[in-house]
Amino acid sequence: MHKHAAFFCLLLGSFPPKSTALSNLMDSLDVKSMLTSLVSELRFPEVSSLTKRSRKLDTMSNGSTVLWVIQDSYEGQTFFDTFDFYTGVDPTNFLDQQSAFNQSLAYVNSDNKVIMQGDNTTWLPSGVNRSSVRISSQAEYNTGLFVLDLDMAPWGCGVWPAFWQAFYWYRFCLICSSFNRTLGNGVWPWNGEIDIIEGVHDNEHNQVTWHTAPGCNLTATSNFTGTIVQTNGVDNLQCNAFIDSNAGCGVTEWSRASYGPYFDSQGGGVFAMKWDADGIAVWSFYRAAIPQDIVQGEPNPSNWGQPVASLSPLACNITQSFANHSIVFVDVLITVDITFCGDWAGNSYATSGCPGTCPDRLMDPSNFVNASWIINSLKVYKQATLSGGDSNDAPSSMGPSLRMIGLLLCVATALHVMNMAF
């Protein structure tokens, strides 16, 4: 209809006012009916959509407004297509993709939920490593909004799951101990590591941690609800991976629903990390408290309240310290993984309240029935700046809206010509 209207407007413009030919043409084409029909279509859907979207805008510290638009979506039957399986040397026996599929340690069930788990059926001789999964995304990221929706995260004595991001020279991550982390693709830790979900044993509180090269520090006065991790009663403010046995700078969440059995009993939830010029912030929501904008696929961190953890750019050059990150899952390592014992879980086992020793614990498969990831989706969003800055990713809806406005002006001109013609 719009194309026909545009042609019609051009046609009207070729006639002089009060032309007999114009009058005859309009009579034969029933122009008044055509214009009435056209006007009824001019509802400006794009403008309405943008107005509706404006309620979903995120406000940055510099006053600019941005819209978070989907960049990558990892879910369902294609989830593993864009992840690599890590098989390097580790206290855990990480399987390659085909072996993990064959042993049902990695698969997608009939409800399109992604399952990654440690071996919970095989009795092992003493000293033998238990099988598990660790995967890293093939895609690399430099900033973004990462939203992970899961029904279950691994936990249990001797279990060290992680979701993290980092940068390594090799595609696969070399550290395997968090629920979701991001890892840089270079010589660790020069491009940083972000542990978004991490814990050990039967912990109830998630820990968010950053590991970097020297020079990046956590700002204690930043706006977050968690508690800064300490060593010997002193806050770990230096994220420097070369000191304090690579403790990094970490924040422990206050909520018991952020990790372990209580998180799973609540039906899981959502973890979200925003990484941009304002810093790196992490939120977590148990199932009943997930914001509606996340559910609708229109995330707006400005509506989420204080993050549980935040790394401010005041004492850390975010762009310099974090770059080219892959996502890692460990049980699985974008990285996701599940590690058994290892540095953190192994060294802390004696004071964890868990029975026996960590190596002995590994022998009995029944100890690892809860060492599983059940993932609904992992979505990565990128910024589209709408005001206060330029962006090539800005929505293109204004273009169609301007065309509609032009069309409306054409209709008004046509009505004016009609009045002159009669």
The three-class DSSP label of residue 211 is strand
Characterize the bridge pairing of strands 269-276 and 58-59: unpaired
The whole-angstrom separation of Cα 340 and Cα 359 is 9
**Which of the following is catalytic: 140, 193, 253, 298?**
193
3-state secondary structure 276-333: ECCEEEEEEEEHHHCCHHHHCCCCCHHHCCCCCEEECCCCCCHHHHCCCEEEEEEECC
**How many CB atoms lie under 10 A from the CB of residue 106?**
27
Q: Determine how β-strand 131-137 pairs with β-strand 269-276.
A: unpaired
In this structure, which amino acid lies at residue 272? A
Please list, in sequence order, all residues whose beta carbon lies within 8 angstroms of the beta carbon of residue 422, skipping any fewer than 6 positions away.
Answer: 23
For residue 370, report the phi and psi dihedrals to the nearest 5 degrees.
-105, 10
Packing angle of the helix pair 31-41, 398-421 (nearest 10 deg) = 160
Q: 183: which residues sit within 8 A by CB, 6+ positions away?
A: 136, 164, 165, 166, 167, 168, 173, 175, 193, 194, 325, 326, 328, 333, 335
CA–CA separation, 177 vs 335, rounded Å?
9
Of residues 136, 162, 90, 161, the one with CA closest to residue 368: 161
- CB of 361 within 8 A of CB of 353? no
Across 369-400, b (16+ Cβ under 10 Å) vs e yields ebbbbbbbbbbbbbbbbbeeeeeeebeeeeee
Tokens found for residue 327: 């996502």
3-state DSSP assignment of residue 137: strand
Instruction: Tell me, yes or no, if 198 is annotated catalytic.
Output: yes
Q: Report CA 12 to chain centroid distance, whole Å.
A: 53
Q: Is 193 a catalytic residue?
A: yes
- Of 46, 140, 198, 298, the catalytic one is 198
Q: How many other C-beta atoms lie within 10 A of the C-beta of residue 180? A: 34
The continuous run of DSSP H or E covering 232 comes out as none
Q: How far is CA 205 from CA 28, 199, 320, in A?
A: 77, 8, 30
- Give the C-alpha separation, 4 to 7, whole Å: 5
Q: Which residues are catalytic?
A: 193, 198
